[in-house]
């Protein structure tokens, strides 16, 4: 038997000369065999992948501005260092328009599962978040009544609830496979932006983001209307009276006048049967030489002003003359 590669006669099954294992019959012995030179019959393929990637120029959008061109490796380094994200818009020559990084072949997804689809992610938490502009102030009002503080001093409760719910939701999205570092900043500082970006990232309709904006607008611009529907007073009603001034007494707020004159003053806001918001302030004063329980009631107008509605001494309705006399005494105190 002869080696079909080098032509030498061999008795074993492996040619010790070249390592070939395929042999031909001896009748081919007289054929001319040329041993291949080590440098022959080799085709050298240059690795052009790296150079092609370096030549490939990409542009990306960051904070509303266009950056680039950068190579593919440079763009990948930006992604790995979390300076750009799956939702970052990118473009290169040959593409019809800007697309998300997640919709390109930049990120190798072959060795990792893709993020969950939007339909597979539970939106219960963000729907609760969408109504926090209403739920939060109501909680502030309830807590303020329980601890004897004004609801305006508890404004941070709504802010904290918004932030906590956004952060919890951001953590859920991260576990679902999304890069959410960029969104975390919006979750802490600007909730509606977080909700709109969330909807875009998950390819969902931004209904919950729109609802948040609507409920926020309702609480800011239509508190009296909400109070009439819910039967609960505007959480800021008491502060409007306390921080306000009376036309004839411009240098002191109502709160300053009451605190300096009343013993154990208490404030209460409620919605009347006419769906108007009223604020009561009660306390004790010395009137005609004896301790007297006083109730002053103010009615809030839609233009954020308020007017005297009634005043009582020990449950007896008083006239405007008595009210004016009392205000003069309170202002001079």
Residues 6+ apart with CB under 8 A from 182: 85, 87, 197
pLDDT of residue 207: 93
CB atoms within 10 A of CB 21: 11
pLDDT of residue 60: 93
- Does 92 or 51 have the greater pLDDT score? 92
pLDDT of residue 45: 45
Per residue in 97-116, pLDDT (tens digit) is 999 887 888 876 555 677 78
Please state the rounded mean pLDDT for residues 50-65: 78
pLDDT of residue 54: 59
Rounded Cα distance between 322 and 319, Å, is 6
Per residue in 290-319, pLDDT (tens digit) is 999 999 999 988 656 889 999 999 999 999
Mean pLDDT of the chain: 79
Do 71 and 58 meet the contact criterion of CB atoms below 8 Å apart? yes
pLDDT for residue 87 is more than 90? no
Per residue in 19-53, pLDDT (tens digit) is 665 555 554 555 555 555 554 444 444 444 555 55
- Does 117 or 317 have the greater pLDDT score? 317
224-228, 290-294, 325-329, range with the lowest pLDDT: 224-228
Rounded Cα distance between 108 and 121, Å, is 23
pLDDT for residue 234 is more than 90? no
How many angstroms separate the Cα of 6 from the Cα of each of 24, 37, 40? 11, 11, 14
CB atoms within 10 A of CB 133: 22
pLDDT of residue 32: 57
- Does 39 or 76 have the greater pLDDT score? 76
pLDDT of residue 1: 55
pLDDT of residue 327: 92
- Does 47 or 322 have the greater pLDDT score? 322
Q: In the structure, what pLDDT confidence band is assigned to residue 285 with cuts at 50, 70 and 90?
A: very high
pLDDT for residue 280 is more than 80? yes
pLDDT of residue 46: 45
Please state the rounded mean pLDDT for residues 243-267: 90
């Amino acid at each position: 038997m002869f080696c079909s590669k080098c032509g030498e006669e061999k008795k074993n099954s492996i040619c010790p000369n070249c390592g070939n294992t395929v042999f031909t019959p001896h009748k081919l012995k007289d054929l001319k065999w040329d041993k291949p030179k080590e440098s022959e019959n080799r085709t050298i393929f240059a690795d052009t992948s790296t150079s092609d990637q370096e030549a490939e120029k990409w542009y990306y959008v960051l904070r509303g501005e266009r950056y680039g061109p950068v190579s593919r490796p440079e763009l990948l380094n930006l992604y790995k260092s979390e300076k750009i994200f799956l939702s970052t818009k990118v473009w290169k020559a040959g593409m019809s328009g800007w697309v998300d990084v997640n919709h390109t072949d930049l990120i190798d997804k072959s060795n990792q599962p893709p993020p969950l689809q939007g339909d597979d992610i539970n939106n219960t938490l963000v729907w609760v978040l969408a109504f926090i502009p209403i739920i939060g102030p109501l909680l502030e009002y309830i807590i303020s009544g329980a601890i004897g503080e004004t609801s305006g001093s508890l404004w941070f409760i709504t802010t904290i609830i918004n932030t906590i719910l956004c952060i919890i939701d951001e953590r859920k999205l991260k576990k679902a496979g999304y890069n959410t570092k960029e969104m975390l900043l919006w979750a802490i500082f600007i909730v509606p932006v977080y909700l709109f970006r969330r909807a875009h990232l998950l390819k969902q309709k931004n209904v919950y983001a729109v609802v948040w904006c609507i409920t926020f607008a309702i609480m800011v611009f239509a508190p009296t209307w909400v109070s009439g529907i819910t039967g609960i007073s505007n959480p800021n009603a008491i502060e409007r009276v306390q921080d306000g001034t009376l036309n004839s007494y411009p240098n002191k707020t109502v709160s300053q006048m009451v605190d300096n004159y009343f013993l154990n003053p208490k404030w209460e806001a409620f919605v009347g049967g006419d769906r108007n918001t009223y604020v009561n302030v009660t306390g004790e004063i010395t009137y005609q030489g004896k301790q007297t329980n006083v109730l002053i009631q103010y009615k809030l107008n839609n233009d954020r002003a308020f007017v005297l509605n009634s005043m009582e001494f020990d449950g007896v309705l008083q006239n405007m003359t008595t009210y004016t006399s009392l205000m003069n005494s309170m202002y001079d105190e």
